[in-house]
């Protein structure tokens, strides 16, 4: 029995967005973000050969835009690392029946790590805007 042409689901409705799919998408996006950061970081390293350019670069790193970027970098690194650990545990240890629970457990660990590691950046932003 075929569906009527006006009743067919859209391409977006065909997929049920589940935890594994979101984990996959965020893992790819965080990987791309880390590659982008690496390119910017290597580009910034060229300033090492010039003392004035290096000092100007380091001074700009203390601005609010870079503090937000530093916090987002921490989020990307923590998520990518913990999701990579989840993938290793599923592939090599065989924890596949517990994928959703493992995802949310490592998500809670990520929130704690981001909270502890991101505190200096957030405190610096609050201090900057409180002046």
Indicate which CATH number applies to the domain containing 93. 1.20.1300.10
Q: What is the pLDDT of residue 19?
A: 82
**Which tokens hold the place of 79?**
């998520």
Q: What is the pLDDT of residue 98?
A: 76
Q: What is the pLDDT of residue 13?
A: 60
Q: Tell me whether residue 8 is in a domain.
A: no
Q: Which domain holds residue 116?
A: 20-130
Write down the residue that tokens 């000092």 correspond to.
55
Q: Tell me whether residue 3 is in a domain.
A: no
Write down the residue that tokens 């594994």 correspond to.
20
pLDDT in tens, 70-94: 999 999 999 999 999 999 988 888 8
Q: How far apart are CA 118 and CA 112, in angstroms?
A: 10
- Domain count within the chain: 1
Q: Tell me whether residue 15 is in a domain.
A: no
Q: What is the pLDDT of residue 76?
A: 97
Residue stretches of the chain with pLDDT short of 70? 1-15
Q: Tell me whether residue 9 is in a domain.
A: no
Contact between residue 86 and residue 23 where contact means Cβ atoms under 8 Å apart: yes
Q: What is the pLDDT of residue 21?
A: 86
Q: Tell me whether residue 94 is in a domain.
A: yes
Q: Tell me whether residue 2 is in a domain.
A: no
Triad 21, 25, 33: Cα angle to 5°: 165
């Amino acid at each position: 029995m075929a569906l009527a042409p006006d009743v067919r689901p859209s391409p977006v409705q065909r997929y049920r967005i589940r935890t594994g799919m979101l984990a996959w998408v965020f893992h790819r996006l965080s990987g791309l973000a880390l590659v982008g950061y690496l390119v910017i970081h290597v580009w910034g390293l060229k300033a090492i050969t010039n003392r004035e350019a290096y000092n100007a670069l380091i001074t700009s790193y203390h601005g609010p835009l870079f503090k937000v970027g530093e916090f987002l970098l921490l989020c990307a690194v923590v998520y990518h690392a913990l999701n990579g650990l989840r993938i290793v545990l599923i592939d090599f240890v065989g924890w596949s029946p517990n994928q959703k629970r493992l995802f949310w457990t490592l998500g809670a660990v990520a929130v704690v790590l981001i909270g502890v590691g991101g505190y200096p950046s957030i405190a610096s932003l609050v201090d900057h805007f409180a002046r």
